[in-house]
Amino acid sequence: MAIHLVQRAQAYLPCSRARADGDVVVLLGEGVAAALIDANDCYASDTDVVARGLVGVLPTSIKRINDAQLVALCVEHTPVVTWTKA
Amino acid sequence: MNSKNILYLLQQAPYLDNRVFETFDAVLVAAAFDQRVSLLFRGDGVLQLLADQKPEGQRNLAKMLTSLETYEVDQIFADARSFEARGLKVADCAIAPELLSKREIAQLIARQDLVLND
Amino acid sequence: MTTPAKDKEGYLLNLADWSPTVAEQIAQEVQLELQADHWELINLVRDFHQRTDVVPAMRPLVKLVRDNLGSDKGNSLHLNLLFPDGAAKLLAKIAGLPKPTNCL
């Protein structure tokens, strides 16, 4: 199973098309902006969510994870796929 | 100096790079030079308005927005559809924008001498 | 006492280095002796920066002072008498803040 790291909000759609059942998607950095519109069944970096003031407006389908949990997910999944482009 | 109607379209989510800050500083300069500045937040740019931002080691955009009143920038607008699509409310914001429909946005743009994109 | 690091225009590099003593040192460099009227403005502009992460340029500074201390003080004449040769910049410098946002 793959882990997809979405680093730009504009990269969420192409990522979601490439996502297979059982793959994990994590929103990072500016990518957390995708949490409010397109994204569902995703993780989001807690640091980036807090920095942007999104705590109170995040949909419940998005689970916040800390850096240690992110590292653990990356270790458990192969390949690690990074998404930055629309 | 001639005073012009200038509208800034703010469409980027914050904290990707310095771009949002550079645009904000440009807004302050225009206002300090007596231009009639309006702001329209749309798309992911509406995230710039959120009240609860806590960036580490850099300027806090939510705090910076509260300086606009002192710069006499009081024409703050946002795209109602961008708010709706993200489940956001005016109450989530550091400063309260007036939400505009597509038609009202067209009217706002028609009133300007200059429209700048971020 | 060591003097804190400054940029080449004389603004403190590290905001945390500021103290009232540092303010007096910076003021002395331009032959300015800080009185109550100066401190009132220093505290006002520091508070504004604390709240907004913005250092006001001249026009908004006048409005800030007018809104908080009245129009007797909220005018460029009063500000330039207290902080000569560019009140917004000199006030920011003495208050230990960065250069006013895009003060040209």
Question: How is chain C split into domains, by residue range?
Answer: 16-94
Q: Identify which has the larger pLDDT, C24 or C103.
A: C24
Containing H/E element for A45? strand A42-45
Query: Residues 13-52, chain A: which have Cβ within 8 Å of B?
Result: 29-30, 33, 36-37, 48, 50-52
Query: Which residues on A lie below 8 Å from B14 (Cβ)?
Result: 52
pLDDT recorded at residue B57: 86
Considering the entire predicted model, what is its pTM? 0.88
Q: How many of the other CB atoms lie within 10 Å of CB of C28?
A: 11
C16-94: CATH number: 1.10.10.370
Query: Which residues on B lie below 8 Å from C58 (Cβ)?
Result: 32
Per-chain mean pLDDT for chain A: 94
Provide the number of CB pairs (under 8 Å) joining chain A to chain B.
51
Per-chain mean pLDDT for chain B: 94
Containing H/E element for A46? helix A46-51
Q: How confident is the model at residue C1 (pLDDT cuts 50, 70, 90)?
A: low
Per-residue pLDDT tens over the stretch A41-62:
899 999 999 999 999 999 999 9
**pLDDT exceeds 80 at position C45:** yes
Are chains C and B in touch, 3+ Cβ pairs below 8 Å? Answer: yes
The β-bridge partners of B59 are none
Q: How many of the other CB atoms lie within 10 Å of CB of B74?
A: 11
Strand, coil or helix: C103: coil
Per-residue pLDDT tens over the stretch B4-50:
999 999 999 999 888 899 999 999 999 988 899 999 999 999 999 99
Supply φ then ψ for residue A38, to 5 degrees: -85, -35
Against chain B, the chains showing at least 3 CB pairs within 8 Å are A, C
pLDDT recorded at residue B1: 61
Are chains A and B in touch, 3+ Cβ pairs below 8 Å? Answer: yes
| Mean pLDDT value of segment C55-83 | 95
pLDDT recorded at residue A58: 94
- Non-local CB neighbours of C94 within 8 Å, separated by 6+ positions: C23, C26, C27, C32, C34, C38, C42, C83
Rounded to whole angstroms, how far apart are CA atoms C14 and C4? 8
Token couple for C13: 């590099």
Q: CA of B22 to nearest chain A CA: how many angstroms apart?
A: 17
Domains and CATH numbers, chain A: 3-83 (3.40.1260.10)
What ipTM describes this predicted complex?
0.89
Domains and CATH numbers, chain B: 5-117 (3.40.1260.10)
Among C53, C58, C63, beta carbon nearest to B70: C63
Closest residue in A to B61 (Cα) is A52
